Amino acid sequence: MKRIILITILLLATTALLFAFDIFADEEEPARKIYLQKETSLIIYRDKTLEPQLLLDISVDYNNEAYRAQTTLQIDVATSKLSAKHLSISIFRGNQILTTGWITHPWGSASLTHVVDVLNAQDLSGGIKDDLEAMKLPELMLSLTTYQERSSLDVVLKPGFRTTTLENTGRWSLIPAQFSSVTLDEEETMNLEKIGGGARYRIHTSPIDLGLLYFNGYWPQSGYTNITYDSTYAITGAETIHTRYQLIGFESSSLFGPLTLALEGGFFLSEDTDGSDPGLYNSKWAYLAELSYTHSASGTFLAVAYQGQYVLHFPSSPMDVDVLASNDGKAYANTLLAAAELKFFREKLACRVAGTYQLESTGYLILASATYALGDNLSFFLKTTWYGSIETKDSLYHTWDANDSLQIGLHAWF
Amino acid sequence: MKRFITLFSILCLGCSLALFSSPTADQIMELVLETQSSSTSALDIKLTLIDRTGNTRERRLQTLSATQYGKTSTLTVFLSPESVRNTRFLSVEGTGGTTEQWIFLPSLKRIRKIAGTEEAGSFMGSDFSYNDMASTTYDTGQADHHLISEDGKSYTVESIPHEVKAYGKTLTIVDKETFLPLEVQFYEHDGKTILKILTTEAIETISDRPVSTIMVMKTHSSSHTTRLEILQARYDIPLPEGYFTTRFLETGRL
C-alpha cells in the first residue's frame, strides 16, 4: 500500500520551479509541486536504551486559481507507521477561503506556548518536542476565513474531536503503575453529538494586533466515570468521558520598544458549572504573557513567557480529575518559559535552547539543539532533552525524569 | 507619466551637466538614486555565498515593493534553502515615520508582529546587510558627498553619513553613462579601514532602464563573498495592494 502511494505521488509529481508571485510565473508555474524530507537519527536515553528513527515526509501541493490541495504524509520506518499529517482542500472565492480536511488550525499569538490554541489536541505519546505545531494532532475540520483590509474572521466547525494521545505503558506513560491494569471503556468522540465550533475575529492596527475568540467544544483530556472496584477497593475499570466547555478569550500582539508583547487569555466555562462532577473538568481562567525579540536579518529569536491557570470550585477529592491533573494538588498552576535561537557562521550553525519551570510542582524541562548545515538542503543535528523536578512532587516532568535523551541525526530535503 | 518626468529630469540634468561643468557630488548621488528608484518593483534574486575555499551555498528570494505618497511597502518571500522556504516578511511604512513589520514563519503557522531594527547584521548569512539590500548608497539628506576624482567613464564620490551606523564612510565609483554604482567601498567607523567592497559585474537594460543584474560583495577581513544575481525584474508595473497585507503573509495568496 505504501509503495503504491509513493509511486502514485512520484508519477504525479512535476519539477518544482520556484515562484512566490504570479508576476514571475507567467504560464510556466507548475500547478503541482512535491517536497520530500527525510530525517534519520539515533536517540540515546539515560538508561542507555537506543532508539533509531527514520522518518520520510512527502508533501504534495496542487495550486490553481480556484483551489489548493495540500497533502503531507509521514512514513515512520522504525514503527512501520504511515500517518497523514495534513490533508486539505482550500477553495478561494473573493476575500474568502474555505478549507476542509485533516488539518491543524492555529489560534494564539505567542510563540513558546499557548492557552487559547484549543482546536487541536496534542500528541504526548513521545514526550515533548521543541516544535509545538509538530506535536499537534490533525483533526477533521472545516474553516471559513473572511479577510478584510486589516481584519479577518475565521469560523471553524469540528464534527467530533480527537483526544490527547497518551501512552498507557512504556517510558512515556503518564498512568500510575497501580492503574496500568485498569480496563478503560473509551468514549466515542468522532460523532456529531460531539460537534464543536468557534470563531476568531482579528484586527491588525498600528499599535496592536488583537483577536477575540469563542469556542464551544470538548476538552481533549479524558475524565473518568463509572469507576469499578474489586473487593480490596482497587480500581478495576472505568469509562472515559469528556467535558464540554465554552471558551471566551483573546490574543494580542503589540510592540514594546524593540520587543513584541504577546498576551493570551480566556475563561473556560465548563458544563460542570458548580464543579460537582468529579469526572468532568471545572471552569477555569487561563492567562499567558510573552516578551520576545526577533532580529529578522540575523534570525535571532529570544523570548520569555509566564503562563498560568486558576481552576474554580477546586475539589478536595483526590479522585476528581481536576486534582489528578493539577500540579501538587493546587487550584492554580504557573509556569515560566524561556527560549533562545541564535545563528552563527553565516547561519551555518543554529543553536536553540528552551526551558520550562513549573512553579508549584518544581518540575522542569530543558530542550537544547544545535543544527549545522552541511549543504543547502542537508543538515546534521544534535538535540538533548532533560526532564526533572527540584522536589519530588507529582508532575509530568517528574514522571518522565528517567527519559532524558540525546538525539543525533541528519535531515535532508530533496 | 512619472517615468517620462523622471527621464525628462535626468535628460535636463544631463544636458545642464554637459553644458556647464562637472556635476556636484550631491547631483551625482541624487542621479544614482533616481536611476534606481521606481514606483513599484518585483525582483527575483539569487544569492550565492562563497567562502574562502570556494564552497558555495545558495539562497533564493523574491521581493515586491511599492511606493505610494512617499510611503513604501515591501514584501519578501524566501524560497530556498528548504529550511526557510515560504518564510515571508512584510514591511509597511505608515504615517509619522512609523513602519509596521510582520514575519510569517511556516513552522509556527502564524504571523508575528515585530519591531523594526537597525539592520546592520548579515542578511541570510550573506555579505550584504539588510540595509545594503535596500540601498548601497546614501541620499543627500543622509550623508555629505564629495567628488574625489573623475575620469572619462566614471565619477568617484566619497560619502560620509551624518549618523554613523554600519559604515563610517563609503567610496562610490559611478558610471557616467548609466549613473549606476560600478563599485562601492564600505569603510569601518574610523573611515580608514575597508570593510567590504561591492563590484557590479553586469548591467542590463530592463524595462528601458539600466539595472545592475550581477553584483559581488566581498568582506575584506574574511575573503567571504556573496554574488547577488537578479534573475528577473519588473519595474513600474501595477501591483495589487493585496500583496502588502497580513492576508498574503499568512496564505501566500492574493
Name which of A47-56, A395-404, B19-28 the model is least confident about: B19-28
B216 touches chain A (CB under 8 A): no
Residue A395 is placed in which grid cell? Answer: 508532575
- Model confidence band, residue B254 (pLDDT cutoffs 50, 70, 90): confident
Average pLDDT over residues A384-391: 94
Coil, strand or helix at A291: strand
Q: Strands A50-63 and A32-45, how do they pair?
A: antiparallel
Angle, vertex CA A121, rays to CA A115 and CA A123, nearest 5: 115
Give residue-wise pLDDT tens across range A307-353.
999 999 999 888 899 998 888 889 999 999 999 999 998 889 999 99
Q: How many CA atoms lie within 13 A of A117 on its CB side?
A: 25
| Cell numbers found for residue A274 | 458548580
* ipTM above threshold 0.90: no
d(CA B67, nearest CA chain A) in Å: 17
A40 Rama class: left (phi>0) / alpha (psi -120 to 50) / beta: beta
Query: C-alpha angle with apex B222: B217 to B225, nearest 5 degrees?
Result: 25
How far does B210 lie from chain A, in Å, by closest CA?
19
CA distance A396 to chain B (A): 24
B199 within some domain: yes
For the record, the C-alpha cell of A102 comes out as 485533516
Average pLDDT over residues A260-266: 96
Residue-level pLDDT at B128: 87
Verdict on whether the full-model pTM lies above 0.90: no
Q: How far apart are CA A242 and CA A279, in angstroms?
A: 8
DSSP string, A41-106: EEEEETTS-EEEEEEEEEEEEEE-SSEEEEEEEEEETTTTEEEEEEEEEEEEETTEEEEEEEE---
Q: Among the listed ranges A107-111, A234-238, B228-232, which one has the minimum average pLDDT value? A: A234-238
Determine whether the interchain pair B121/A68 forms a contact, defined as Cβ–Cβ distance below 8 Å: no
Interface test with A, best of B112, B126, B229, B248 (most A CBs within 10 A): B112
Instruction: Quote the minimal CA–CA distance from A209 to chain B in Å.
Output: 8
With residue B134 as reference, give the H or E element that holds it. helix B130-134
Q: Taking the CB of residue B151, how many other CB atoms lie within 10 A of it? A: 9
- B102 lies in some domain: yes
The answer on pLDDT for B221 being more than 80 is yes
- The total number of structural domains in chain B stands at 1
| Least confident range of A88-92, A195-199, B57-61, B79-83 | B79-83
Closest chain B residue to A23, measured at CA: B42
User: Per the structure block, which three cell numbers stand in for B234?
Assistant: 519588473
CATH number, residue B168 = 2.50.20.10
Contacts with B57 (C-beta within 8 Å, 6 or more apart), sequence order: A373, A375, A376, B48, B49, B81, B125
pLDDT band at A279; cut points 50, 70, 90? very high
Task: Give A-chain residues touching B108 at CB under 8 angstroms.
Answer: 106, 111, 133
Eight-class DSSP state of A173: B
Contact, B185 vs B218, CB < 8 A? no
Chain A touched by B44 (CB under 8 Å):
yes
Could you count the other beta carbons within 10 Å of the beta carbon of residue B107? 13
A202: closest chain B residue by CA: B246
Among partner residues A147, A295, A377, which is closest to B121 by beta-carbon distance?
Answer: A295
> What residues in A contact B253, CB-CB < 8 Å?
68, 92, 97
Optimal mutation site among A251, A296, A341, interface B, most CBs of chain B within 10 A: A296
Is residue B1 assigned to a domain? no
Closest-CA residue to A309 (of A329, A288, A325): A288
Interface of A with B in 194-223 (CB under 8 A): 204, 206, 209
Asked if B107 lies within 8 A of A253 by C-beta distance, the reply is no
Q: Domain limits at B40? A: 7-251
- Whether residue B232 lies within 8 A of chain A, CB to CB, comes out as yes
CA distance A340 to chain B (A): 15
Q: Is residue B95 part of a domain?
A: yes
Return the CATH fold of A2-413: Porin (2.40.160)
What are the Cα distances from residue B246, in Å, to A369, B89, B251?
Answer: 31, 10, 8
Please give the pLDDT value at position B18.
Answer: 45
Residue B9 has pLDDT above 50, yes or no: no
Output the CA torsion sign for A384, A385, A391, A392: negative
State the residue for C-alpha cell 489536541: A121
Q: In the prediction, which pLDDT does B5 show?
A: 42
If one compares A243 and B129, the residue with the highest pLDDT of the two is A243
**Interchain CB distance below 8 Å, A24 and B114:** no
Q: Is beta strand B40-50 parallel, antiparallel or unpaired with respect to A405-413?
A: unpaired
Question: Which of A95, A347, A381 to probe the B interface (max B CBs under 10 A)?
Answer: A347
A124-133, A226-235, B6-15, B180-189: lowest mean pLDDT where? Answer: B6-15
CA distance B177 to B49: 30
Average pLDDT of every residue of chain A: 89
Cβ neighbours, 10 Å, residue A249? 24
**Cβ of A295 and B129 within 8 Å?**
no
> Are the beta carbons of A371 and A381 closer than 8 angstroms?
yes
The reply to whether B66 falls in a domain is yes
65-124 of B, contacting A, C-beta below 8 A: 77, 79-83, 89, 94, 98, 100-101, 103, 107-110, 112-115, 117, 119-124
Q: Which residues contact B21 (CB under 8 A, 6 or more apart)?
A: none
Q: A206: nearest CA in chain B?
A: B100
CA dist B93 and B116 (Å) reads 11
A72 to chain B, any CB pair closer than 8 A? The answer is: no
Q: What pLDDT sits at residue A13?
A: 40
Task: Provide the 3-class DSSP secondary structure of residue A144.
Answer: strand
- Spell out which residues of chain B touch residue A204, defining contact as CB-CB under 8 Å: 113, 246
B134 touches chain A (CB under 8 A): no
Residue numbers of B between 170 and 209 with CB closer than 8 Å to A: none
Give ∠ CA A21-B103-B77 in degrees, rounded to 5.
25
User: Model confidence over A193-212: pLDDT tens digits?
Assistant: 999 999 999 999 888 999 99
Q: Are strands B40-50 and B56-68 parallel, antiparallel or unpaired?
A: antiparallel
Q: In A, residues 113-152, which contact B (CB 8 Å cutoff)? A: 131, 133, 147, 149-150, 152
DSSP A120: S
| Nearest CA-CA distance, residue B121 and chain A, Å | 6
Whether B14 is in a domain gets the answer yes
Residue A114 is given by DSSP the state -
Task: Report d(CA B91, CA B202) in Å as an integer.
Answer: 29
Is the per-residue pLDDT at B132 higher than 70?
A: yes
Give B-chain residues touching A292 at CB under 8 angstroms.
112
Contacts of A379 in chain B (CB under 8 A): 83
Total CB pairs under 8 A between chain A and B: 122
Helix (H) or strand (E) holding A21: none
* Residue A369 pLDDT: 97
- Give the distance from CA A143 to its chain's centroid: 18
Band (pLDDT 50/70/90 cuts) for residue B119 is low
Amino acid at B173: I
Query: A316: how many CB neighbours lie within 10 A of its CB?
Result: 7
Report the alpha-carbon distance of residue A378 to residue A369 in Å, rounded. 16
How far away is chain A from the Cα of B2, in angstroms, using its nearest Cα? 22
A358: left (phi over 0), alpha (psi -120 to 50) or beta: beta
User: The sheet that has A183-185: what strands, in order across it?
Assistant: A183-185, A235-241, A223-229
Answer yes or no: are the C-beta atoms of B84 and B76 closer than 8 Å: no
Please name the residues between 301 and 340 in chain A that touch chain B, using a CB distance below 8 Å: none
Break chain A into its structural domains and give their ranges.
Answer: 2-413
Q: Are A106 and B80 inside 8 Å of each other by CB?
A: no
SS3 content of chain A, % helix, strand, coil (to 5): 10, 55, 35
B203 in Cβ contact with B153 (< 8 Å): no
Whether the CB of A35 is below 8 Å from some CB of chain B: the reply is yes
Q: Does A92 touch chain B (CB under 8 A)?
A: yes
List of long-range contacts for A174-183, beta carbons under 8 Å, 24+ apart: A174/A124, A174/A396, A174/A399, A178/A234, A178/A235, A179/A235, A181/A236, A182/A235, A182/A236, A182/A237, A182/A238, A183/A236, A183/A237, A183/A238
The residues with which B49 forms a beta bridge, in sequence order, are B57, B226
For residue A119, the surrounding DSSP H or E stretch is none
B19 pLDDT above the threshold of 50:
no
Mean pLDDT confidence for B54-73: 90
Q: In the structure grid, which three cell numbers stand for residue B60, read together?
A: 533564493
A402: three-class secondary structure by DSSP? helix
Which grid coordinates belong to B104?
Answer: 510569517
Which of A112, A136, A298 best tests the B interface by mutation, with the highest count of B CBs <10 A?
A: A298
Given an 8 Å threshold on Cβ–Cβ distance, is B121 in contact with A297? Answer: yes
